[in-house]
Amino acid sequence: MRVTVDPDVCQGHTLCALAAPGVFLLREDDGHSYVAGPEVLPEVEEAVRKAAATCPEGAISLEE
């Protein structure tokens, strides 16, 4: 699985970082999310799916 965050859509709600803290990081300047790396380890796939499902703006994209 690969994950990306659209920086133009993310509003910095931080829900993704709460759901999958090792995958989603927050920029210091505005709190918007970015991914540590696009490849998702199998053991955190469920958390990443939850993060994508709970993103209010739908800024997170998953590619299986």
Q: CATH no. for residue 18?
A: 3.30.70.20
Give tens-digit pLDDT for 2-58: 999 999 999 999 999 999 999 999 999 999 999 999 999 999 999 999 999 999 999
Q: Which residue intervals of the chain are DSSP H helices?
A: 15-19, 45-54
Which range marks the domain in which residue 26 is found?
Answer: 2-63
Question: What is the count of structural domains for the chain?
Answer: 1
pTM of the model: 0.93
Q: How far is CA 10 from CA 13, 36, 43, 45, 58, in A?
A: 8, 16, 25, 20, 8
- What lies within 8 Å, CB to CB, of 18 at 6+ separation is none
What six digits make up the tokens of 5?
Answer: 């965050």
Q: Give the pLDDT confidence score for residue 40 in this predicted structure.
A: 97
